Amino acid sequence: MGNTNDLSSRINAKYKSMSRGQKMLTAYITDHYDKAAFLTAAKMGAAVGVSESTAVRYALLLGYKGYPEFQEALQEQVQGKLKDAHAARTVSGRASRSEILEMALALDRKNIKETSKQIDAAAFALAVDAILDAGNIYVIGVRNCAPLASFFASCLHLMFDRVHLLNANGSGELFEQLMRIDRGDVVVGISFPRYSMRTLKAMEFANNRSARVITLTDSVHSPMNLYSSCNLVAKSDMPAAWGSMTAPLSVVNALLLALYAKKQTEVADALECLEGIWGEYQVYGSDEMEPADDFIGMQYAKETGESH
């Protein structure tokens, strides 16, 4: 009854029909599930700013017989997280460093292999077409997903004129950046456990403005898929307090390669322009040799016997 996927899928199925107060409860539970699991209905309501009866109705909406059964499901989720953390400590305590290295690499290979089997090729193609056709491209990723979002947006800048990496420090600032989004635009939301409600709110806002929404997340049960027309799933399993971003990065690289196949001229022009700017403003010092020059210099030294 109360396993993690079951609870997530229940929230996923009911989210669109929730009242404002129930959505506030979802946001609190998503960001503070470890605390929420041990709060009574009255304390949960007080923490969120809603009534005790709203918290009870929330549990009933999700299909539980009452708040205690809902709380039990939350506690099982927390216990699952604790087991993962305990497994990580056990591995760290008993395994040698070389064994941990091999285990981490093996887990990433497994994540990539499972991602390759599970990812929807049609959804991937749809995502590529949506980005190619977009007027504006918005990218958002919070916490551990922020570096992935930054890398993706940085590479997109070489191919497209209007790429926006969203600063998600606050909801107000986030909506200011999104206020002009419309049906001709696309937003790419990247979120892995623990899921970010700021990312979810950005996708809800974009969906309400009829923009295309693409998600990159870890499961079909992820709440990130609520407003997405294009769901890309990548495995992020790792026995630690964080997930592995190796497989998600592989999916991002695949998206970039598929886009590059259509935008090679634009990339070449952008790089040529950047080379001129870097040279004019001395971005790189004169002592920083280019790889091609370095190779030529070493070849010359080898042939002439001169030191290099």
Question: In the predicted model, what is the mean pLDDT of residues 249-258?
Answer: 96
Q: How many residues does the chain have?
A: 308
Judge whether 157 and 183 are in contact, CB under 8 Å: no
Q: Which pLDDT band holds residue 188 (cuts at 50, 70, 90)?
A: very high
Judge whether 198 and 142 are in contact, CB under 8 Å: yes
Residue 292, pLDDT > 70, answer no
Q: What pLDDT is recorded for position 60?
A: 93
- Ordered by where they begin, the domains of the chain are 4-90 (1.10.10.10), 108-262 (3.40.50.10490), 265-304 (no CATH)
- Percentage of residues in the chain with pLDDT exceeding 70? 83
Cα–Cα–Cα angle for 96, 101, 102, rounded to 5 degrees: 100
CB-based burial label for 257 (10 Å; 0-12, 13-18, 19+): exposed
Three-class secondary structure assignment of 135-195:
CCEEEEECHHHHHHHHHHHHHHCCCCCCEEECCCCCHHHHHHHHCCCCCCCEEEEECCCCC
Q: What pLDDT is recorded for position 64?
A: 92
Q: Which of 57, 48, 54 is nearest to 24 (CA)?
A: 48
Q: Which pLDDT band holds residue 308 (cuts at 50, 70, 90)?
A: very low
Phi/psi for 170 (5° steps) reads -150, 150
CA–CA separation, 281 and 190 (whole Å):
34
Q: What pLDDT is recorded for position 137?
A: 97
Q: Which of 203, 226, 287, 240 is nearest to 14 (CA)?
A: 226
CA–CA separation, 115 and 260 (whole Å):
22
Question: In the predicted model, what is the mean pLDDT of residues 247-265?
Answer: 94
Residue 1: how many CA atoms within 13 Å on its side-chain side?
12
pLDDT digits 0-9 by tens, 85-97: 555 555 555 667 7
CB-based burial label for 157 (10 Å; 0-12, 13-18, 19+): middle
Pairing of β 212-217 and β 186-190: parallel
Q: Which pLDDT band holds residue 3 (cuts at 50, 70, 90)?
A: very low
230 Cα distance to chain centroid: 14
Q: Which pLDDT band holds residue 291 (cuts at 50, 70, 90)?
A: low
Per the model's pLDDT, the better-predicted residue between 142 and 251 turns out to be: 251
pLDDT digits 0-9 by tens, 95-126: 677 777 887 888 899 999 999 988 999 999 99
Residue 160 makes CB contacts below 8 A (sequence gap 6+) with: 131, 134, 137, 263, 266
Per the model's pLDDT, the better-predicted residue between 258 and 292 turns out to be: 258
pLDDT digits 0-9 by tens, 9-53: 788 778 888 898 998 898 888 777 778 888 899 999 999 999 999
Helix, strand or coil for residue 242? coil
Average pLDDT, the chain: 83
Per the model's pLDDT, the better-predicted residue between 224 and 288 turns out to be: 224
What are the structure tokens assigned to 19, written together? Answer: 């009242």
Q: What is the pTM of this model?
A: 0.68
DSSP symbol at 224: G
Helix, strand or coil for residue 16? helix
Q: What pLDDT is recorded for position 93?
A: 59
